Amino acid sequence: MTLLDELSGFEFEDVMEDVFRKLGYENVRQAERVADKGRDIVMEETVDGTRRAVVVECKHTDTVGRPVVQKLHSAVATYDYPGPKRGMVATTGRFTNPAKEYARDLRKNGDPHPVELLDGTELREIADEIGLDLYNGRIEVLCDRTLRPTDPSRSPDAAVRDAFREIENLDPRTIPRPTMTARFVPVVRIRGDVSAVFETSAGVIHRVNERDEFVLSAGRDGPRPLEAGVERLVATSADQRVDLDEHRFGELFDAVEVERFGQTETEYKEWAVRRLRRRHTTTVSYTGDNNVTYTKECEPNLSDISIQSISPVYLPRIRTTTTLGTYEYPYEYYAAGPSRYTIEDGIHRCVQCGGSDGTFTYCENCGSINCTDHIRTERLVGEPVCTGCAVTERFFFSTKYFYDGENLEQFNEEYEEMPVHVKAMENKALVAAVVVAVFLLLVAAFATLGIV
C-alpha cells in the first residue's frame, strides 16, 4: 500500500500539519492554498536558544525531483522572517538522486537556507512514534497520564470527610469508610492562535490577533466543551499529572474504570478550528471611499488559524457512597490532587425535603441529615433528633420529640411526678403568652379604676 494513498494533496497537508505539531514544532500553520509561493506549511523551532522558521513543501507524489527542492530553497530565501530559516520537503514517495544531491550541496556549502528531505520511509517511522493511522491520515490519541485522583498527603477519602465536617452533630472522624469508585474520563486541552487581517479598498477594516485555550470532553459521545469550573480545574492542574497506573489505583478504590478517547487528535483539531473560526467571525461596518457605509462579514481563513498544542489527559471522576444508619450519601467530584470540582453533593441535603441550603444537622438516632425545619431537640437527652424518626407526644399542649417509645415512656413517668407549675414549663411559649395576657388584663383593669 502506498502511504496515505487515499488522501488528496490538500488532505496530506492537513495531516502533515498535525504531524509537525505532534513532533513539537511551534506556531504550525498552513499557508494560503492559493498562490502559496512554494510554501505549504510554515512553523518555528528553537535551536540552542535561537528561534528559527521552517518552511515546508508537501508533495503527495511517487517521486520528487530537483526542481521542487530548488523552488522551496527560493521560497525560504524570500520568506519574510526576522531570524534564521530553513526548508523541508515532505513526500509520501521518494526523492530522486539529483534532488538529494541538491539538498546535500546546500548543507555542504554552508547555505544559510538549507533544505531537509523527509520521504515516505521516514514518514512510516514517524507514524509509529506518534500513532498516525497510515490508512486514513489520522493521528490517534496516545495517552497514559492522568490528573491525580487523590491528594497524596491525605487519605483517599479526605474529600468526603471534608464534606461531612460541615454537618453539625457529626464528627467526620467517626464516619465509616465510604465505597469509592474512580472513573478516568478523557479530556484534551487545546491551545490555538487566530491571526487575521481583513481589508477592502477602504483599507484595513478589522484585525484578529488572539490566543485561545479550552478543554474538551473527549469521550465517545464526541468533543464537547466542559463547564467552566471543570475546565478551570484541568487548565490549572498541569503539575498534578501522574502515570495512569490501574493496578496502583485499584488498591485505593473499590472499582476503577478507564474510558477511551472517542476520536483522533486530528478530529479534535478539526473541531477546534471550526470553533475558533465561528468564535472570531464577526460583521463589521465601515465607510467606503464614496462615504457610503457598508457591512462585511469577516471570517478567518483556515490559514489564519493555528493549533499550537493538543494535550490529552485523563480526568478522575470519583464517586463515593457513605452509609450512616439507614441512609446512603452520594458524593461525586472531579479530582486533581488537592483540588476538586463537585458534581453531586448528597451530603448537604435534607433527607426529609431535599433542601440544599442552610445549616444541616445529623440525627444519630437514624443516621439522617436534616435542615433546620426537620431537626428537633430530643426531650429526654437533649440531643438532635429528626422529625422523620422521632416519636412524638403532646405535653401541656406542646409537642415533644423522642428517640423511641422507651424514651417517651421514661419521660411520661417523670412527667407524672412533676408539680403543675413545672409541667407548665413544658410549654414555655404558652406560659409566656398567659403571663402577657394576664399583665394586659391587669393594666386594663387598673386603667378602668383610674389607678394608672
**What's the pLDDT tens digit per position in 274-328?**
999 999 999 999 998 888 999 999 999 988 888 888 999 999 999 999 999 999 9
Tally of structural domains, the chain: 3
Residue 34 predicted with pLDDT over 60: no
- 166 with 114, same domain? no
Does residue 268 have a pLDDT over 60?
Answer: yes
* Cβ neighbours of residue 319 closer than 8 Å, sequence gap 6 or more: 180, 181, 183, 330, 331, 332, 344
How much is the average pLDDT of 132-145? 79
Given this model, what pLDDT does residue 387 score?
96
pLDDT tens-digit map of 38-47: 568 999 999 8
**Residue 426 domain-assigned (yes or no):** no
Tens digit of pLDDT for each residue in 180-206?
999 999 999 999 999 999 999 889 999
Residue at which a domain ends, from 101, 123, 139: 139
Dihedral, CA of residue 103, residue 106, residue 110 and residue 113, to nearest 10:
-80
Give the model's confidence band at 373: pLDDT under 50 very low, under 70 low, under 90 confident, else very high. Answer: very high
Confidence band, pLDDT 50/70/90 cuts, at residue 429 = low
CA distance linking residue 51 with residue 53, whole number of Å: 7
Q: Both 150 and 287 in a single domain?
A: yes
Assigned domain for 442 exists: no
Claim to verify: residue 61 and residue 25 sit in the same structural domain? yes
Measured in degrees and rounded to the nearest 5, phi and psi for residue 273 equal: -60, -45
Domain of 296, in residue numbers? 145-336
Q: Based on the fold, state whether residues 264 and 193 are members of the same structural domain.
A: yes
CA distance 441 to 424: 21
pLDDT at 33 over 60: no
pLDDT in tens, 70-118: 999 999 999 999 999 999 999 988 999 999 999 999 999 999 999 999 9
Least confident of 18-22, 135-139, 250-254: 135-139
Beta strands in 325-446 (DSSP E): 327-336, 339-345, 360-363, 368-371, 375-377, 384-386, 391-395, 398-402
Closest CA to 215 of 202, 237, 230, 197: 230
Whether the pLDDT of residue 35 is over 90: the answer is: no
Tell me whether residue 89 is in a domain: yes
Q: Residue 446: what pLDDT? A: 67
Reference 144, options 361, 300, 312; nearest CA is: 312
Span 5-13, average pLDDT: 73
Q: Of 153, 142, 321, 139, nearest to 244 (Cα)?
A: 142
Is 213 found in the same domain as 86?
no
163 and 286 share one domain? yes
How many Cβ atoms sit within 10 Å of the Cβ of residue 27?
16
Q: Are residues 30 and 154 in the same domain?
A: no
Q: How many distinct helices (H) and strands (E) make up the chain? A: 11, 26
Question: Which positions ≥6 away from 36 have C-beta within 8 Å?
Answer: none
CB 114 within 8 A of CB 84: no
**Are 104 and 63 members of one domain?**
yes
* Residue 187 within any structural domain of the chain: yes
Averaged pLDDT for residues 339-363: 96
Is 343 among the domain residues? Answer: no
- Position 62 scores a pLDDT of 87
Q: Is 341 part of a structural domain of the chain?
A: no
Do residues 150 and 298 both lie within one domain? yes
pTM here is 0.77
Least confident of 169-183, 286-300, 418-432: 418-432
